[in-house]
Every structure is written in C-alpha cells, then in structure tokens.
Amino acid sequence: MSGFTLEQLSSRLGSHIESSSEFRGENTYFVAPEKISEVLTVLKEEFNFDYLVDLTAVDYLGIKSPRFEMVYYLHRFGEQYDENIRVRIKCSISEDKPAIDSVTSLWAGADWLEREVYDMFGIVFNGHPDLRRILMPEDYDEYPLRKDFDVRNREPSKRSFKKALSEGNF
Amino acid sequence: MGLNAAPTAGGEGFLTTTVNSVANWGRKNSLWPMPFGTACCAIEMMGAMMSRFDLSRFGAEVARFSPRQADLMIVSGTITYKMASVCRNIYDQMPEPKWVIAMGSCTCGGGPFDSYAVVQGIDEFLPVDVYIGGCPPRPEALIDAVMKIQKKIDIEGAPIV
Ligand code: SF4
C-alpha cells in the first residue's frame, strides 16, 4: 500500500482503538491488551510498518490503574524509502497477572526487547521463544524498574553475586 | 647492594645483592597489566598505553588479556555485581604476586551510579593497592598510579613464590 494516511489506519483498526492522541506530529493509539497482536499484525502486514523501533514498558504505580503500560514504536519506511512515518501503540496491563502476547513472530528484533521488559518489570510475554532475564543475573529475584523497588537496594544483586562466586558459575 | 667495579675493563666487576631485591627490581620495571576495562575509563587506559602517553616507558607495556601472564590488574570502568564475579574470577587466575589499580570513581566508590546493580567500590571483593579518582582520570593519573605501584614493590617487595 502506498500513500499511507493515518485516517486509513484508524478506519481499518476501527473499534480496536480505545483512544488516540497527537502531540507535535506524534501519533499514539491505545488498544486493548488482548488485541495487541491482532493490531500489530495489521500494522505490519497491511500497513508495512516493517521496523519495530522499540518496545518498552512504563510503571504508573499510584498514578494510573491498571498499573503497567506497554509501548510499541513502529516505523514505516515506505516503498521508495521516502516516508519515515512513526506511530506509537500503547496498551495497559494489570498488576496481578502481568502478561501479554509476544510479538517476536512479527519482528524477530522484539526478542531481546521483550526479555528486557520481562527482566525489569516482570511482564510475561506469551509465546516468546526464550524468555529469560537478559541484564540481571538469572537467579535475581526482583524487578528493578518497578516503582515499588528501591533503586538503591543492592541486596538482591549481592545475593546473586555471592551465589555466583560460591558456585563458580560466571 | 655492593658494587665492586674492576679497575680495568668491564665484565670483571661484580655485584652483591639479594635474590629478593633483584626479583623486585625486575617486577617493578616490567609490570604486565591485565586491562579489565568495562566502561568509559577504559578509553583513558587505552590512551595511556598509546604512543602519546606511552605507559611502556615505565615497563608496563605488554597488556596481557590472559590473566595467567599478568601481575597488575587495572580495573577501569563501572563494575556491576554481575561483572564482579567475573572480575574476581579473573583476579584469582592471576599468578602471585599481583597488584590491583582501581581506576576511576566507579571502581573507587560506585561513581555516579548509586544503583541496585553497581558495586560501590571494588574493594568490596578485591584487594586494591592504588585508587585513582576522576571521572575519568587522565592518562597521567594512571601513569602516576603505575609509578606508585612500582614504589610499593620497591619498598614492600613480595616474597619469591
Ligand atoms: S568513573 Fe566516570 S569515566 Fe570512569 S567508568 Fe565510571 S562513569 Fe565512566
């Protein structure tokens, strides 16, 4: 599809979009978490958003409920590589069972990004091929970017460090 | 050390000394660093080794990436707890005698990273001989630290093992 417009996108996604906002040319669409893979599949397959720029999460503890929000940044280069259109897709995830579908089948690059979100926020990605911690030690037992985790709490890191030393497991 | 210079040609004279002081003299003038660079400070360490600052003038020329051939560990860069076990393991593989330089604020005390992942000073798990402050320290500071290590070897020495 060439000559992409945002109107086409909103009419195609229709009721999947819960709300949308625009700020200085940046377009954000909120969708329901159970619709995320459907929406992202449409964006990739029909609207040629080939490139997943980033995928991350935000913890709105005490600010919003549900607490977590997933953020996907998609980029469309266009057929002649002359377009450079970006959209941002967001969806909320509840606190008690934070989980969402993995998008690794759409963009292989989502693999490590989802592992990072899992590592930092404890959000589980259903269908991810290898969901392990990526930055913190594998036996680490906290989710450090959650707002209820004290950013200066080094005790969990020390525990993993001592365990790695005593087991000779580096 | 006693010196008996022969009155005639060279080669006839002799020195009296101890094995320890000859060994320590050799050690201090041929430190072989194991560069443990994990962040920005490592760039300054590389700078110190290149021709402009030329650490090799002090004998610390041969950077050994194998700990088994090194006797001076230069820890330069942010050390996280995940990296700390690796760092300690590499230190343990170095043969005695060995020395450690903590290069930069990060290795001395965590630097700007007062966070859940960063070790607040590598002396938590390594015996540090010389600390260099700075974020990053200039290459001259590293050269100064190497010379301090040399002085330390000169004064304290190390047993022959
Ligand atoms: S002390 Fe500063 S320059 Fe050195 S590793 Fe830490 S942050 Fe980087």
Give residue A23's pLDDT: 93
Q: How far is the CA of B46 from the centre of ligand 1 (A)?
A: 14
Considering the domain architecture, whether residues A164 and A145 belong to the same structural domain is answered as yes
| Same domain (yes/no): A146, A162 | yes
Q: Are residues A75 and A54 in the same domain?
A: yes
Fold of B36-156: Rossmann fold (3.40.50)
Kindly state if the Cβ of B110 falls inside 6 Å of ligand 1: no
- Write down the pTM of the prediction: 0.84
Which is nearest to A92 in space by CA: A148, A147, A31, A144? A31
In this prediction, residues B118-137 reach a mean pLDDT of 94
Q: Is residue A1 part of a domain?
A: no
Pairing between strand B99-103 and B72-76?
parallel
Q: What is the CATH number of the domain that holds A126?
A: 3.30.460.80
Among A31-45, A104-118, B5-19, B80-94, the minimum mean pLDDT is found in B5-19
Reduced to 3 states (helix: H, G, I; strand: E, B; else coil), residue A87 is strand
Q: Which atom of ligand 1 is nearest to the CA of B134?
A: 1
Q: Determine the atom of ligand 1 nearest the C-alpha atom of B41.
A: 4
Name the 3-class secondary structure at B74. Answer: strand
Q: Which residues 103-122 of B are in CB contact (within 8 Å) with A? A: 114-117, 120
Does residue A51 lie within any of the structural domains?
yes
Which residues, at least 6 apart from B148, have a Cβ–Cβ distance to it below 8 Å?
A: B129, B130
Q: Is B41 in the pocket of ligand 1 (CB under 6 A)?
A: yes
Q: Do A152 and B81 touch (CB under 8 A)?
A: no
Q: Are residues A54 and A17 located together in one domain of the fold?
A: yes
User: Based on the domain organization, do A160 and A130 belong to the same domain?
Assistant: no
Distance A7 CA to ligand 1 centre (A): 48
Choose from B116, B118, B120, B126 for mutation: most chain A CBs within 10 A. B116
The CA distance from A76 to A40, in Å, is 13
Which range has the worst mean pLDDT, B41-50, B55-64, B96-105, B108-117? B55-64
* CB of B106 closer than 6 angstroms to any ligand 1 atom: yes
Q: Which domain holds residue A57?
A: 6-135
Task: Using the predicted structure, report yes or no on whether residue B121 has a pLDDT greater than 60.
Answer: yes
Q: Are residues A73 and A154 in the same domain?
A: no
Residue A4 has pLDDT above 80, yes or no: no
- Mean pLDDT of all residues in B115-122: 94
Give the burial class of A156: count Cβ atoms within 10 A of its Cβ; 0-12 exposed, 13-18 middle, 19 or more buried. Answer: buried
Please indicate, yes or no, whether residues A84 and A168 belong to a single structural domain of this protein.
no
Compute CA distances B5 → A30, B2, B13, whole Å: 90, 10, 5
Residues A170 and A108 in one domain: no
Looking at residue A7, its pLDDT comes to 83
Tell me, what's the pLDDT at A72?
Answer: 96
Residue B156 CB-density burial (10 A; 0-12 exposed, 13-18 middle, 19+ buried) = exposed
Helix or strand (DSSP H, E) at A23: strand A17-23
One domain for residues A107 and A96: yes
At A2, the pLDDT band (50, 70, 90 cuts) reads low
Query: Looking at per-residue confidence, does B155 or A112 come out higher?
Result: A112
Statement to judge: residues A86 and A155 lie in one domain = no
Tell me: do A88 and A145 sit in the same domain: no
pLDDT at residue A9, as a whole number: 84
Size of interface A-B (CB pairs under 8 A): 44
Percentage of chain A lying above the pLDDT 90 cut: 69
Residue A119: per-residue pLDDT? 95
Please tell me whether the peptide bond between B97 and the residue prior to it is cis, using omega within 30 degrees of 0: yes
Structural domain boundaries of chain B? 36-156
Domains contained in chain A, number: 2
Same-domain status, A27 and A98: yes
Query: Is any Cβ of chain B less than 8 angstroms from the Cβ of A160?
Result: yes
Assess A165–B contact: CB distance below 8 Å, yes or no.
yes
- Compute and round to an integer the Cα radius of gyration of chain B: 18
